[in-house]
A and B are shown apart, each in its own frame.
Chain A
Amino acid sequence: MVEFLQQVINGVSLGAIYALLALGYTMVYGVLRFINFAHCDVFMIGAFAGMYIGRHVPEETVWGGLTVLAGAMLICAVLGIVIERLAYRPLRSGPTLNVLITAIGVSLFLEYGAQDEHVFGQRPQAFPQIFPNTSFQLGDVRLSSNQLIVIVVTVILLVGLRLFVMRTRLGTAMRALSFNPKAAQLVGVNNNVVISATFGLGSALAGAGGILYAMNYPSIEPFMGVMPGLKAFVAAVLGGIGNIPGAALGGLLLGVVETFVNGSDYSTYKDAIAFAILILILLFRPAGLLGRSTVEKV
């Protein structure tokens, strides 16, 4: 029983990070109908940004940690907006395949560029302990402070995002765009601004995800985002792509399932399980758990 509960906690903590990443994917897909392959690399840049910022603030303090988090989120937001502007916007009117390929190109560029010895290098680097590190004991179950911070920050960001999307004008504009871009333009929405904002917001969440991930797994390297990115995408699809609470739910579920698989005898199949889930969902319930089926108009 103890082991079960501990695994649940481990799973929730991992799932929270997937949820944050999934949010970015789902937002961009909802608005632009395309998978931003480079999202996971923004995640990675966030972690590295955090590492560098972390060197200038004292370790293990709350305000230091918050500075790192905010700084990384800001840098990633800017990065996301720049990528959209330079690489995706020119192709928006063309076939979606081209944007997809460009996204792959941007992703590879970020990964291999970061690998360059003059940038970050390929060796795994140590991520500093930015928040004070303790652990809490609840019976026989342990929760490290880092895990707790992940969960708390994710919840805050999730709620914040939901409020933003539901209550603010920009958020409403995003939703309008995801329903029908042309109609949104007709009612006065500036698509370019809204799309940039979507990317910025999604990338900021990726940056936060990167920091939280690096806090719990303090070995960062340029390819650290690839697998979490793919898993987060699976989570987004699982919950219903384009659906924000869905992304959170999907992330959570995936994190827990993955953790249990990891602790079992089939741990080496862990990656395959995530993809198997993706395939099953796409085959049997493509709209995802919380999504709604849409009819494709010809």
Chain B
Amino acid sequence: MRRYLPQLGLIFGIVVAAIVTRYSDAIDPYVLDIATGAGINVILAVSLNLVNGHTGQFSLGHAGFMAVGAYVSGACSLFLGPRLLGDDPTALSQGLFFLGALTVGGLGAGLAGLLVGVPSLRLRGDYLALVTLGFGEIIRVIIQNMDVVGGALGLNGIPPYTTIFWVLGCVALTIYVVTSLVRSTYGRGFIATHDDEVAAASVGLDTTRYKIVAFVVGAFFAGIAGGLYGHFKLTVLPTGFDFTKSIEIVVMVILGGMGNTLGVVLAAILLTLLPELLRPIAEYRMVLYALLLIALMLLRPQGLLNIRVSKKRRT
């Protein structure tokens, strides 16, 4: 039973998504909005967790991959959509198209992840952090200069394809893929790389390959999240994917406990709700975030929400 937990989880997740969607018109749209936002953040956090947490590579440029996904899928919908779908698309064709657009966005982001990862991942620690930050900024600047997708003015008028079904479905998929990957023998490579890269290399593991795979998979799902985000907000601006956004995702991963999927999911949900709940004191939100980061590191670096599901782990 436990062996098939990820697969069951995936099916369960999709079922939940369908149920929620069925009754979604009875739910307050504002709540649906927040749930959608939370789902997108969960995907971002879990995908980053694969890189930062499980594989131990501190990446600070995740928002760049989200941007690639958002722009690529948004551009597909805006430019290819009318041509492929025609004037009056059926629900099925629109759904399939959206699936396609999301996937293309994810693949684009994955490609970006490969391009960024191959040169960067031979670096360690601080340097890697800075280089990934640099790449995130480079991606942003490049997008800002591409007038075909709106340049600095952003991509506007993206069709609102994102519904709670898609978000929950993608959340389930992401968690499934990441969890399965980590639990597999391949995943042992990630964990070995995280624990001690030199030791792992000395027993013959190609740590660079594991790092790159983790990076690309993480980037892929960040791209999916970006696609969902674009079709949710209907406008994407390059400045929305800057260093600050990367930091927000990093905070979720740290709060949840690097390498702990459940903790990270909870942290992502919490950190989506918090700004809405704190809207009255929205001005202090980032200050509180910052203090939270510092306090966490000083007092409880293993994360706040890392409820560990007990299982036989490395000693």
A166 at the interface (CB under 8 A from B): no
Binding site secondary structure of chain B: helix
Give every chain A residue within 8 A of B133 (Cβ-Cβ): 230
How long is the Cα–Cα vector from A240 to B127 in the complex, in angstroms? Answer: 13
Residues 111-137 of A, flagged 1 when their CB comes within 8 A of B and 0 if not, give 111011100000000000000000000
Minimum CB distance partner of A276 in chain B:
B138
Minimum CB–CB distance from A298 to chain B (whole Å) comes to: 5
A2 at the interface (CB under 8 A from B): no
B198 at the interface (CB under 8 A from A): yes
B273 at the interface (CB under 8 A from A): no
Q: Are A275 and B284 in contact (CB under 8 A)?
A: no
Residues 11-54 of A, flagged 1 when their CB comes within 8 A of B and 0 if not, give 00000000000000000000001110000000000000000000
Minimum CB distance partner of B286 in chain A:
A112
How long is the Cα–Cα vector from A35 to B292 in the complex, in angstroms? Answer: 20
Give every chain A residue within 8 A of B142 (Cβ-Cβ): 269, 272
Q: Are A106 and B141 in contact (CB under 8 A)?
A: no
Q: Are A283 and B294 in contact (CB under 8 A)?
A: no
Give every chain A residue within 8 A of B134 (Cβ-Cβ): 230, 234, 275-276, 278-279
A109 at the interface (CB under 8 A from B): yes
Residues of B273-289 at the interface with A, using a CB-CB cut-off of 8 Å, are 283-284, 286-287, 289
Residues of B65-80 at the interface with A, using a CB-CB cut-off of 8 Å, are none
Q: Are B120 and A109 in contact (CB under 8 A)?
A: no
How long is the Cα–Cα vector from A87 to B127 in the complex, in angstroms? Answer: 21
Minimum CB–CB distance from B286 to chain A (whole Å) comes to: 4
Q: Are B131 and A278 in contact (CB under 8 A)?
A: yes
Residues 41-69 of B, flagged 1 when their CB comes within 8 A of A and 0 if not, give 00000000000000000100000000000
B301 at the interface (CB under 8 A from A): yes
A279-B120 CB under 8 A given contacts A108-B286, A272-B141: yes
Give every chain A residue within 8 A of B247 (Cβ-Cβ): 104, 108
Q: Are B298 and A90 in contact (CB under 8 A)?
A: yes
Minimum CB–CB distance from B141 to chain A (whole Å) comes to: 4
A117-B145 CB under 8 A given contacts A100-B125, A272-B138: no
Give every chain A residue within 8 A of B243 (Cβ-Cβ): 226
Q: Are A87 and B286 in contact (CB under 8 A)?
A: no
Give every chain B residue within 8 A of A268 (Cβ-Cβ): 141, 144-145
Residues 83-108 of A, flagged 1 when their CB comes within 8 A of B and 0 if not, give 00001001100101111111011111
From B126, B287, B297, B298, A35 is in contact (CB under 8 Å) with B126
Residues 235-265 of B, flagged 1 when their CB comes within 8 A of A and 0 if not, give 0000000010001001000100000000000
Number of B residues near A (Cβ < 8 Å) is 37
How long is the Cα–Cα vector from A87 to B284 in the complex, in angstroms? Answer: 20
Residues of B189-204 at the interface with A, using a CB-CB cut-off of 8 Å, are 198
Q: Are A34 and B297 in contact (CB under 8 A)?
A: no
A116-B294 CB under 8 A given contacts A34-B126, A278-B134: no
Minimum CB distance partner of B287 in chain A:
A112
Minimum CB–CB distance from A85 to chain B (whole Å) comes to: 12
Q: Are A101 and B293 in contact (CB under 8 A)?
A: yes
B97 at the interface (CB under 8 A from A): no
Contact-size category for A: 35 or more
Minimum CB–CB distance from B7 to chain A (whole Å) comes to: 33
Minimum CB–CB distance from A198 to chain B (whole Å) comes to: 17
B11 at the interface (CB under 8 A from A): no
How long is the Cα–Cα vector from A34 to B294 in the complex, in angstroms? Answer: 16
How long is the Cα–Cα vector from A99 to B209 in the complex, in angstroms? Answer: 27
A213 at the interface (CB under 8 A from B): no
Minimum CB distance partner of B285 in chain A:
A112
From B127, B138, B250, A282 is in contact (CB under 8 Å) with B127
Q: Are B58 and A97 in contact (CB under 8 A)?
A: yes
Residues 203-233 of A, flagged 1 when their CB comes within 8 A of B and 0 if not, give 0000000000000000000000010001001
Q: Are B131 and A282 in contact (CB under 8 A)?
A: yes
From A109, A117, A230, A272, B290 is in contact (CB under 8 Å) with A109
How long is the Cα–Cα vector from A12 to B293 in the complex, in angstroms? Answer: 38
B129 at the interface (CB under 8 A from A): yes
Residues 267-298 of A, flagged 1 when their CB comes within 8 A of B and 0 if not, give 01101100110110011001000000000001
Give every chain B residue within 8 A of A109 (Cβ-Cβ): 287, 290-291, 294
Q: Are B58 and A279 in contact (CB under 8 A)?
A: no
B35 at the interface (CB under 8 A from A): no
Give every chain B residue within 8 A of A282 (Cβ-Cβ): 123, 127, 131
A97-B125 CB under 8 A given contacts A87-B298, A102-B297: yes
Q: Are B291 and A116 in contact (CB under 8 A)?
A: no
A104-B293 CB under 8 A given contacts A116-B284, A278-B134: yes
Residues 160-191 of B, flagged 1 when their CB comes within 8 A of A and 0 if not, give 00000000000000000000000000000000
Interface residues of A (CB under 8 A from B): 33-35, 87, 90-91, 94, 96-102, 104-109, 111-113, 115-117, 226, 230, 233-234, 237, 268-269, 271-272, 275-276, 278-279, 282-283, 286, 298
Given contacts A35-B130, A97-B125, A275-B134, 20 further A-B contacts (CB under 8 A): A91-B297, A96-B125, A100-B129, A102-B298, A106-B290, A108-B289, A111-B290, A112-B287, A115-B283, A115-B286, A116-B287, A230-B134, A268-B145, A269-B141, A275-B135, A275-B138, A278-B134, A279-B134, A282-B123, A286-B127
Please list 9 pairs of residues, one from A and one from B, whose beta carbons are closer than 8 Å in the complex, sorted by A's number: A35-B126, A100-B129, A102-B293, A105-B290, A105-B293, A112-B287, A112-B290, A230-B133, A272-B142
